[in-house]
Structure 1
Amino acid sequence: MNNSIVRIVDLPDEILVTIFKKLHHFDVLYSLVGVNKKLDNVACDVTFTRSIDLATISLDKADDSRINAILDRFCIEILPRIQKRMECLTIQACFLQRVYHASDYVNLRSITIVNLELKMAPDIFFKKSSFIHVFKDQITHLSVKISDEIRNELRLKLLTDIYNCIFALITNLKYLDLGVNDNYFFRRSLLSGLSSTTFSSSSIVHLNIKMSNFDDCRYLLDGRLTQLHTFIANLDYIYDPVLMRVNPSKIRKISSNIKINT
């Protein structure tokens, strides 16, 4: 009877990969790397290392020490093993610097940052930041979800500066998704009065952005985004339907997919 028992390590690698695909990639890596050579090799397969999602890990004051211990092991023992295979990373903003300082991600092209507080943003996106230094020519896909409510002029100015730095400093960006907390209390234009070189890019082809004022949509379609073919704007309101009558002569003649969500 005992001879009919098959241990998991006796299964072919292909079957193990199929089984482990049903699990979260982070769980596969954290649980199997270092167990034994066979499981280690399976866990480090490109199936589980191409896209890493750390957004499900969040700090809870009751469990900070446990979460920090998990992240420390992941950064010290696992990331250096898989860094060359990583192409996509989804991460809580509060963990970003710890993770990207842990290794060199030469093939990382896509980053999604969630729960970004505005006070953290300058350390990530402003010109002299280490993030910009490392990734400015490397990242092609960026998604940023800002968690703060935009309640005052100071925050609105900081939001504008962050947006502009992303457009200006990440030079090979093709897909950009910029989201803000739904409690967005300002209705005036972000771009009004700014130079036409603001929010400009010669590489972005897909833009999904949270705005409040329809004028900003018109500014973004005036030719400053020379390669744009898909534009999605998330607006709270359009106060005057006349604003929807955009003069085609003022919009660069491109084959664009334009979607306005209100």
Structure 2
Amino acid sequence: MEYSSIQLDDLPDEILLIIFNKLNKLSVLYSLAGVNKRLNVIAHSPNFTGRLNLLRCLSDHSIRLLPKRRLERFCSQMLPEIHPKIKWLNLESISIKRILLSATYPALYGLGLYVYCNDIGEAMSLITKLYVRVQDFTDCLYLLDGRFSQLRTFRVDVYRIFSISLRTNNKVRLLDLKSFSLHSDMRTHVSDELIMPLLRRMLNLET
């Protein structure tokens, strides 16, 4: 590794970034972190820390856990160092709890979940904040059918809100929800029909 780091140090940052951007970002972050100060700065740049896939995607499109040793290093050493820079995480359901409890993520606005069928309920029960963009209002209602039992904050951007969207009569009260925001760039004339009934299910809203 010492020989490799000397060769890399001979190259300007611009060339290094071109090379590293053609490689797996997670592998770059894992391999370069802690080698030396210069490579550590590059590895911790937003190019490699902004969006992380903390899982393995195989050639048959199946999802697997990270190797135990690699996952442990990320959780105990690397995530606590780069957590303020992380904006998006793609996780699988078995290691999600370990990863989310390893650090706080103040800049995180997106979370991709790859769930094994037997673990889907447990994974959803861990989520307290959810920011999503959906196609129509029905998608919003499906997300608020009680499956996210610990949800405290929900922000949703809906492409369109119109009467035909209402295809569910879900009446579950959302007692734990404290903060709710709904946005759509398209005008709607069915607020009383669709939005007000949803708000009436949120008995403990604070914001």
Who is 1:164 aligned against? 146
Aligned runs of 1:1-262 on 2, under 5 Å? 7-56=7-56, 58-59=63-64, 67-117=67-117, 119-126=118-125, 129=126, 131-132=127-128, 136=129, 139-141=130-132, 163-166=145-148, 169-174=151-156, 191-192=168-169, 194-195=170-171, 203-205=181-183, 222-224=193-195
- Which amino acid is 2:99 matched to? V
Distance 1:110 1:225, change over 3 A: farther
Q: How many residues align?
A: 165
Q: How much identity, in percent, do the aligned residues show?
A: 25
Distance in 2 separating the partners of 1:163 and 1:92: 22
Distance 1:77 1:196, change over 3 A: closer
Distance 1:23 1:195, change over 3 A: same
4+ residue stretches of structure 1 with deviation over 4 A? Answer: 160-163
Distance 1:142 1:49, change over 3 A: farther
| Aligned-residue offset at 1:110 | 0.5
- Which amino acid is 1:224 matched to? I
Structure 2: runs of 5+ lacking an equivalent:
1-5, 58-62, 135-141, 159-166, 185-192, 198-207
- Which amino acid is 2:155 matched to? L
The TM-score, its normalising length taken from structure 2, stands at: 0.63
Distance in 1 separating the partners of 2:33 and 2:41: 8
Distance in 1 separating the partners of 2:181 and 2:100: 24
Q: Name which one, 1 or 2, has greater alpha-carbon Rg.
A: 1
Distance in 1 separating the partners of 2:102 and 2:84: 13
Higher relative contact order (CA 8 A, sep 6+): 2
RMSD: 3.8
Who is 1:215 aligned against? none
Distance 1:103 1:225, change over 3 A: farther
Distance in 1 separating the partners of 2:149 and 2:183: 12
- Which amino acid is 2:146 matched to? N
The TM-score, its normalising length taken from structure 1, stands at: 0.51
Distance 1:171 1:54, change over 3 A: same
Contact kept, 8 Å, 1:52 with 1:90, in 2: the verdict is yes
Contact kept, 8 Å, 1:55 with 1:114, in 2: the verdict is no
Contact kept, 8 Å, 1:92 with 1:115, in 2: the verdict is yes
- String of CA shifts for 1:202-243, please: whole Å, max 9, x gaps: 53448xxxxxxxxxxxxxxx51389xxxxxxxxxxxxxxxxx
Distance 1:98 1:197, change over 3 A: closer
Distance in 2 separating the partners of 1:23 and 1:225: 49
